[in-house]
């Protein structure tokens, strides 16, 4: 058996569709997860879980399920995504430190959303039951 692979939990913000015009990136969870996946791939890591959460407590079991101290890490596109996804970024950072798990932010520039991009996000999120995958 080879070396243990670093597994990444990608954190995206679950933001209501009503906020699309005000903050399209926070609503566009697919782009948030894609940004995390790109960051992980550039480092030879694999994204093992994609979380889509809003205001989650730092000690919530959803965050910590199967996370291996020293081997796994959390990544989010940016601090502001973490601020939306978690109830307290500071408490989460402290919990990560206590458990020996890194938390990183990607820091890539967010995409600029024009009307067409917003329309695509709106369609994808408003028709998930129709089997529409957003392409």
Class of domain 7-126: alpha beta
Average pLDDT, the chain: 92
How far is Cα 88 from Cα 77, in angstroms, rounded to an integer? Answer: 16
Q: Return d(Cα 8, Cα 49) in angstroms, integer.
A: 7
**Which among 6, 9, 24 is positioned nearest to 112, based on CA atoms?**
24
Report the relative pairing of strands 46-53 and 73-76 from DSSP bridges.
unpaired
Q: What are the extents of the domains in the chain?
A: 7-126
What does the block give as tokens for 37?
Answer: 């996946």
Tell me the C-alpha distance between 131 and 81, whole Å.
Answer: 27
Among 55, 62, 58, smallest CA distance to 98 is for 58
Q: Label residue 5 by pLDDT band (50, 70, 90).
A: confident
Is residue 12 pLDDT above 70, yes or no? yes
Q: Mean of the pLDDT values across residues 13-36?
A: 96
């Amino acid at each position: 058996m080879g070396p243990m692979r670093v597994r990444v939990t990608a954190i995206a913000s679950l933001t209501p569709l009503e906020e699309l015009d005000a903050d399209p990136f926070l609503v566009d969870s697919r782009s948030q997860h894609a940004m995390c996946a790109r960051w992980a791939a550039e480092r030879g890591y694999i994204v093992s879980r994609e979380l889509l959460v809003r205001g989650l407590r730092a000690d919530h079991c959803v965050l910590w399920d199967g996370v291996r101290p020293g081997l796994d890490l959390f990544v989010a596109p940016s601090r502001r995504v973490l601020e939306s996804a978690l109830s307290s970024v500071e408490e989460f950072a402290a919990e990560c430190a206590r458990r020996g798990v890194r938390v990183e932010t990607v820091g890539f520039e967010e995409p600029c959303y024009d009307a067409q991009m917003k329309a695509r996000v709106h369609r994808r999120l408003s028709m998930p039951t129709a089997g529409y995958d957003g392409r």
